Structure 1
């Protein structure tokens, strides 16, 4: 978490865990309070693309 930053504003992210396996986060979100944006974590992989570039 120390190396991750919001791709838009470079602000700190807050981890919200929905499902984990040991020390690995399987699903959840990363939240930037500055931009008010959420970045999903699916199958252990965070999608750090800005919202307008996601599917």
Structure 2
């Protein structure tokens, strides 16, 4: 994941910053507890494609 891209992408729900989870290949919004997949090196920033994170994740 290009770190320059992380500086300009935002959560489509709250417009907040996203964190990169290298292990799971996801962009994570800690505020909304949503994890957006990265498929083929391309972030899929669509709310219906996001995974809802459990309360224990992202602490």
What TM bracket, shorter-length normalisation? Answer: 0.7 to 0.9
- Runs of 4+ aligned residues of structure 1 deviating over 3 Å after TM superposition are none
Which residue is equivalent to 1:13?
A: 18
Between the two proteins, the alignment pairs up a number of residues equal to 44
User: Which runs of 5 or more structure 2 residues have no equivalent in the other structure?
Assistant: 1-5, 50-59
Rg: which structure is higher? 1
The equivalences for 1:1-55 within 5 A come to 1-18=6-23, 28-51=25-48, 54=49
Q: Larger RCO: Structure 1 or Structure 2 (Cα < 8 Å, ≥ 6 residues apart)? A: 1
User: Which runs of 5 or more structure 1 residues have no equivalent in the other structure?
Assistant: 19-26
Question: Normalization by structure 1: what TM-score?
Answer: 0.72
CA RMSD in angstroms, aligned pairs only: 1.4
In the TM superposition, residue 49 of structure 1 has moved relative to its aligned partner by: 0.5
Question: Normalization by structure 2: what TM-score?
Answer: 0.68
Which has the larger share of helix?
A: 2
